[in-house]
Each structure stands twice: as C-alpha cells, then as structure tokens.
Amino acid sequence: MTRDWPRRARVGAGTGVAALLVVGLWEGYKAVGDPDGTELLGVRLLPRTDDAAMPHVWQVLTRLTDPDATAGLPVWRVVLDACLFTLGVTTVGFAAGTVIGLLLAVAMQRLRIVERGLLPYVVLSQTVPLVALAPVIAGWGGRLSVGPYPWQPWMSVSVIAAYLAFFPVAVGMLRGLQSPPAAGVELMRSYAAGWWRTLVKLRLPAAVPYLFPALRLAGAAAVVGAVVGEISTGTRGGIGRLLLEYSRQATSDPAKVYAAMLGAAALGLVVTVVVNLLEIPLTRHRSATGQG
C-alpha cells in the first residue's frame, strides 16, 4: 500500500490541475469568445458567452450560498440533500449491478456455451436508449411489490443504475477470470484442484487488477443511470429531478443550473473515491502476499 501512495497523490494532484484547467478554459473562452457563439461557415461550433449561457465560475459558487426560493434553504443545502438521495439510490443500483455482473462473469467463465450464448446479448443490452427503457421499467415496477412492501419509484431508478453498472463488471471480470496462464491452470489440475478451488485460489486473485477498473466504470455508469432515471421517471428528491427543475429557471437564473451540475459532478467523484478506498485493502493484501 505504501508504494501506491505516491501514485494516488499524483492522481489527486492531476485531478486538481484538471479542475483548474477547466476553470481557466471556461473563463478564458468567456473573455474572448463571441457573445452570440463562435461560428464557422454558418455553423455554430462553440456556445454563446453571455451570462445567460455561460455565467462566471464565481457567480455559480456565489449562487450556492443564496437561498432557494422554493425550499427556503441555501442552494448548496438543497443540492446536497438531492445528491445524498441520489447517492443512496446509486449505491443500491451499483451493488446490485456488481453482484449480477460478477455472477454472469463466473457463469460465462465456467461454461463456454454460456459465454457464447450470453455475451452478445450482454453487449447488445447496452445499446438500448435509457430514455426509452426508463418508462418501461417504471411501468413494470408499478405492478410489483417486494414482499408486503409496494414498489417505490426510487427502486425503478436503482434498477436503471444496475442496468448500466453490471456491464463493465461482467466484461472486466470475465477478462480477469480468463487471464491466468495455461501453465497456472494446468498446475492446479496437477494438484487435483476442482473448478471451485481453481476459481478461489487462482482465477479470483488474478482478476483483481481487472475488477477495480471495471468497478470505477460501473460506479460512473450507475451515477449516470440514476440521474437519467430520475429525470425519465419523474422521481422526486434526487439530483436528476433537481437538474430538471432548475433547468426551467435557466433563462432567469442560469447560475442555479450550473450549481446543480456541480453537485452531480461531485456525486460522481464521491463514488469514484469510494471505489478507490475499497481497492486499498485488496492492494495491501496482494502486496503482503507478493502478488501483482
């Protein structure tokens, strides 16, 4: 783990530099760009730079401290509450998608016929537009119940998040489970190790370097699925719905919309950080055992 801290520090510094670069590009283009948008051959290539389309960064940050007319709370508090709601929904979807992806990966590694028959449909599933899928899931959910409890709207959003999250986990984990060299597999067979023992002792440890990049992608996908799902299904309380409500005020209060966008971006960063923290114990274990 100690060896990984310099790398993690560089990643954190790089994230900070990237954020400053984005702010610099935003303010730089706003300073020199055309208020009506930059056009080439009659086609607008870059957005308008007036305050209605591109408010200053300081205006967005200042708007976070102003009160929200509807809720009566500071905007930052409204955005934070919405992000916490979406984070909970995302966590459920991310966990469900991870479990489904892991089970699919193990099944496809175990039986080649399952991989050949199922993998094309796993890939094909990601081509269905969420905007079309979300109302269908919400409609199905309205006819379901979890035991004695009726189906809640947030559950449909979690299903959408899981739908996007399972794919990178399934594909990444499958690649990891198939990564051990043939010599290693033959060595396990020479010790009369069955499929399960080979999976636990050889394939799962070998799949760890493939798993966490897949989990990072799955976390980001789950956030996107939750936000889009909230917008598409009309689920209240989350950052997706808040973005939709604030976008209706974009003409008179554009900084408020970008404040909600900052919340959504921060939510994605939080999920990424959590996945990175989950990686530390396994990295420590692999270093202690001399793996990786």
Cα distances (angstroms) measured from residue 244 to each of 54, 145, 232: 18, 28, 10
pLDDT class of 267 with cuts at 50, 70, 90 = very high
pLDDT at 128: 82
Mean pLDDT across the chain: 84
Cα–Cα dist 171/76, whole Å: 38
Rg, the chain, Cα only: 23
pLDDT given for residue 1 in this prediction: 46
Q: Look at residue 3 in the predicted model and tell me its pLDDT.
A: 53
pTM of the model: 0.83
Tokens of 134: 């979300």
Q: Give CA torsion, residues 101, 103, 106, 109, to 10 deg.
A: -60
Given a cut of 80, is residue 222 above it in pLDDT?
yes
Percent of the chain with pLDDT over 90: 26
* Model pLDDT, residue 80: 93
Mean pLDDT of 195-215: 90
Q: What is the pLDDT of residue 99?
A: 96
Q: pLDDT per residue over 42-101, tens digit each?
A: 777 777 888 778 888 888 888 888 888 777 788 889 999 999 999 999 999 999 999 999
Give the residue with greater pLDDT, 7 vs 32.
32
HSE-CB of 155 using CA atoms within 13 angstroms: 12
* Longest distance between any two alpha carbons in the chain, whole Å: 73
Q: How confident is the model over 234-258, as pLDDT tens digits?
A: 888 899 989 988 888 877 888 888 8
- What mean pLDDT is predicted for residues 96-107? 95
283: pLDDT strictly greater than 70: no
Among 36-45, 121-130, 219-228, 276-285, name the most confident range: 219-228
Residue 144, pLDDT > 90, answer: no
- The lowest-confidence range among 15-19, 183-187, 193-197, 238-242 is 15-19
Give the Å distances, CA to CA, from 36 to 51, 115, 173, 250.
11, 53, 48, 17
The pLDDT assigned to 62 comes to 87
- Confidence at 182, pLDDT banded by 50, 70, 90: confident
pLDDT at 12: 58
Task: Write down the pLDDT at residue 61.
Answer: 87
pLDDT higher than threshold 70 for residue 137: yes
Q: What is the pLDDT of residues 12-43, one digit of tens each?
A: 566 778 888 988 888 888 888 888 777 777 77
Q: Is 195's pLDDT higher than 50?
A: yes
